[in-house]
Amino acid sequence: MAADFKYIVVGRGMMGAAAAKHLAKRTDGVAVIGPDEPENRKAHRGVFASHYDEGRITRTVDPDRDWALLANRSISRYADIEADSGVTFYTEAGCAFVAPAQSEYIVNTTRAAASLGVETTLLDEAGLKAAFPFFDLPDGCEGVFQVKGAGHISARKLVKAQSIIAQKAGATVVRDYVTAICEAGGVATVETSRGTVYSAEKVLIAAGGFSIGENLLPQSVDMSVHGRTVTLFEVSEAQAAEFAAMPSLIVEAPQTDIYLLPPIRYPDGKIYLKIGGDPDDHLLETERDLRAWFRTDGRPAARDHLTAIVRRLVPDLRPLSVSTAACAVSHTKSRYPMIGYTSSPRLAVLTGCAGTSAKSSDEIGRLGAELLLKGKIGDQGYATDFQPFFR
């Protein structure tokens, strides 16, 4: 049975779009299937994605060297992605990592940065106050500050950029979502929500949390998916100007475990300061749970928790409004993305990115492309092998 394509990537989020681009640059016969962002989220009954956002932290430094390397390689390509697509998605605002002084988090972050040759500055408590007067950070903390190669990206614009480059390289973009995948006649076949069936020699499932959906894999992927609530504080043009030097911020301290984005203009024309960091986990066990979750505005308890923290952290904040949005993260046993084959040599997965991979998505996508092209990832300089786990 002749296949319609050599490779089909299922999922056109940050990882899937990147994988499709890298594949299309190296071979023909590539398709990527994934819907556009729904116009009315609450009325939408299809699948969702977590890249419907304007503010995601990007930085190289990380307490885990493999995550730092994934980020470092991705960030080094940002300029080329912007140039090749004509889409600007990256703002170099810097990123500060704050934790108790001499903690394992600070030590490991500094060590990983040094091993990759990333320039950072270690700020003590007084240095943090001097550098970032708009923050009231927890006592007894110090911070690692990265200026170059750090800040924030627009996740939706990054996906747009990767999709444009993939198309320019010859990939077919199908704006639909996949409801079933199976094997027949020596090829893999995928069926979309509109009833269209496509076939390929190999299929890469990069559907984020929706990879837990039924009828996609021969064996269920072993990962947990959790709902997350982000809180957005609308600020005035004047307040945004006051906070113009604000970097992206990560705080890992007692009673304060959050990330914060400086004021960013969103598609509605308003400017929002964003904070995330749920106080507990909200497990989503099925695809039906996921769809229902994305139609909500998140959890009021998480909003209240984050609001109390942001009032402490940014005491001069004068929000014009406060709103929330639902997001989701996928966790694996290894704490790394799963990039590998299922029990079928025609079906592979690229998923489980722990809610921290927006910055690293181009490299993660490249590894997915490498898997399909060569049958394995091979030695890429990582300590982990990105092995997938199944139930």
Query: DSSP state, 350?
Result: E
pLDDT at position 61: 86
**pLDDT digit string, tens, across residues 347-388:** 999 999 988 889 999 999 999 999 999 999 989 999 999 999
Asked if 290 and 225 count as a contact pair (C-beta separation under 8 A), the reply is: yes
- Say if residue 50's pLDDT is above 90: no
Query: So what's the pLDDT on residue 279?
Result: 95
For the cut 70, the answer to whether the pLDDT of residue 1 exceeds it is no
The pair of structure tokens assigned to 216 is 């996609």
> Which phi and psi angles does 308 have, rounded to 5°?
-65, -40
Q: Does residue 179 register a pLDDT over 90?
A: yes
Reported residue count of the chain is 391
Task: Give the pLDDT mean for 145-160.
Answer: 97
% the chain with pLDDT above 70: 100
pLDDT at 184: 84
For every residue of 90-159, DSSP letters joined together read: EE---EEEEEETT-HHHHHHHHHHHHTT---EEE-HHHHHHH-TT--PPTTEEEEEE-TT-EEE-HHHHH
pLDDT recorded at residue 355: 85
- Chain centroid to CA 55: how far? 11
User: Which pairs with CB-CB distance under 8 Å and at least 24 residues apart come from 174-179?
Assistant: 174/31, 174/32, 174/33, 174/34, 174/198, 175/34, 175/35, 175/36, 176/33, 176/34, 176/35, 177/33, 177/34, 177/35, 177/46, 177/47, 178/10, 178/33, 178/207, 178/216, 179/215
Q: What is the mean pLDDT of the chain?
A: 96
What the block records as the tokens of 108 is 């490991």
Angle formed by the axes of helices 78-85 and 155-168, nearest 10°: 60
193, with CB counted inside 10 A (0-12, 13-18, 19+), is middle
What confidence tier does 131 reach under pLDDT thresholds 50, 70, 90? very high
> 13-22, pLDDT tens digit by residue?
999 999 999 9
Helices 361-374 and 65-75 cross at an angle (nearest 10°) of: 90
Residue in this structure with the two tokens 């496509």, named with its chain if needed: 198
Among 169-173, 183-187, 248-252, 292-296, whose mean pLDDT is lowest?
Answer: 183-187
**Pairing state between β 283-284 and 321-332:** unpaired
- Tell me: pLDDT of 325 over 80: yes
Residue-wise pLDDT tens digits, 87-106: 999 999 999 999 999 999 99
Domains in the chain and their CATH numbers? Answer: 5-51+156-222+333-374 (3.50.50.60), 93-153+225-330 (3.30.9.10)
